[in-house]
Amino acid sequence: MSKAFTREPDAEADDSEQPEAAGLPAGTRNYITPEGYARLRAELLELIDVERPRVVDVVHWAASNGDRSENGDYIYGKRRLREIDRRIRFLTKRLEIAVVTDPSVHHGRDEVFFGATVRYEDDLGEQRTVTIVGIDEADHTQGQVSWISPVARALLKARVGDVVRLQTPAGTRMLEILEVSYPQARSTSSS
């Protein structure tokens, strides 16, 4: 039988799903908060130190049971290893190009920069609060938006009281900035 019919897909072919700079406009930096960087690093270490060795053990055990072609543990384990390896490569590349930016340096300012929590009101009278973070840490359900999102781009560099224009698929919206806040700097002294 030809090797072409029995060979599993290469892990490299699966890499197209997560390019190195997925979601980043060309020529921009991958800004991330210290907390976001720590979360990505913790996920990477968990995959390398815990998850991957556990799955390797399962695959090794399953392979020792004989016929691999119908061995569900072996087939699933190999697939899971490819997923883990893909995620490890992605996280490694993202952490290598990350620019850790501490938003607490802007504490007390009323201008919108990376890391700001902004409360604004749109032209329909709806108030929203968003925190501008890196693309790898944005979570819309937590009110976090990526710094490259349209709403963040509209808000960046504006000040409290400013009205900015947000272009949406439904048309232009006007947003009035009501409040801007930043986290306080952590004290590093051990008194």
What's the rounded mean pLDDT across residues 85-95? 95
Tell me the pLDDT tens digit for each residue of 130-139: 999 999 999 9
Domain end position, chosen among 74, 100, 126: 100
**Res 28: pLDDT:** 73
Domain containing residue 89: 26-100
> Within this chain, do residues 88 and 36 fall inside the same structural domain, yes or no?
yes
The total domain count for the chain is 2
Residue 2 included in any domain: no
Q: Are residues 71 and 127 in the same domain?
A: no
76 in the same domain as 131: no
Among 51, 76, 100, give the residue marking a domain's end: 100
Label residue 133 exposed, middle or buried (CB < 10 Å: 0-12, 13-18, 19+).
buried
**pTM of the entire predicted model:** 0.75
Strands (E), the chain: 30-32, 98-100, 117-122, 127-133, 144-146, 163-168, 171-181
In a domain, 60, yes or no: yes
